[in-house]
Amino acid sequence: MPKPVIPEERRRRRRPTKSGTVLSEALIVETALRMLREHGSTGLTARRLGLALDADPSTLYRYFRGMDDLTLAIGDALIGQALAGWEPTGEWRRDLREVGLRIHAAYVAHPQAALLTTSRVTGRANELAADEAVLDILRTAGLPLAETVRVYHAFIDQTLAFAALDAASLALPSEALGEDEARWRSTYAQVPVERYPRIAEAAPLLATRMVTSAFPTALEMLLDSVGKRMDGARREHGAV
């Protein structure tokens, strides 16, 4: 049976660790992110995290129900980083673009953590705030409820899917990543024209484009589609 999680205000009154550190959920998540960045997912264990915090590993279970609960907290922290300082402007396309780019950037900044968390549903405060923001942007812009949910689904899944894809590339060993990118300038640039005419034609552009993220382009395509749906909704239904 999992141990009960003690409320944050009670945890803060606990004695500091031997090194004088006062533990908190935020500190544990911050330390876990650093360990993921330095050692990858295999390096994140309760024992190693306890050592990094100069605390007994069992102490972590006063803050989290287990390592999976910590994983959810890490994902939620990334979303919190994405939304930090963001304020809606009231212009739906600008706001939706900014939220998407911020979420993608926050995950890509922590590739190893992104691989663990992009497919998870945290149900925590930052995730709820992001979902509320996206739904509000779409509803305030005049999109009907059912269409709002469809667009929200596509927007969130596309953002997280590209974050996972780009994070997976960045999480590769530098040598492997370099080799993958070099193939666009070597193999693809040298294919037989008679057999692969379209690849040969596009090779110079592929070498430039394929080593960058396609997320900004895909996001603009999605926004174009949303704009058309909004125009159609206004013509057919008028006010929501």
pLDDT at 12: 42
CA distance 47 to 44: 8
pLDDT at 74: 97
Contact assessment for residue 74 and residue 204, using Cβ atoms and an 8 Å cutoff? no
* pLDDT < 70 stretches in the chain: 1-20, 237-240
Q: Over the stretch 13-41, which tens digit does the pLDDT of each residue have? A: 455 666 667 889 999 999 999 999 998 88
For the full predicted model, state whether its pTM sits above 0.85: yes
User: What backbone phi and psi angles, to 5 degrees, belong to 141?
Assistant: -75, -10
pLDDT at 43: 86
Two tokens at 102? Answer: 């911020």
Task: Mark out the alpha helices in 44-144 (DSSP H runs).
Answer: 46-53, 67-83, 92-108, 111-117, 125-140
pLDDT at 218: 98
CA distance 32 to 53: 10
Going from the N-terminus, what domains does the chain have, and what CATH number goes with each?
1-65 (1.10.10)
First-to-last alpha carbon distance for the chain, in angstroms, is: 48
Two tokens at 59? Answer: 């102490």
pLDDT at 18: 61
pLDDT at 5: 56
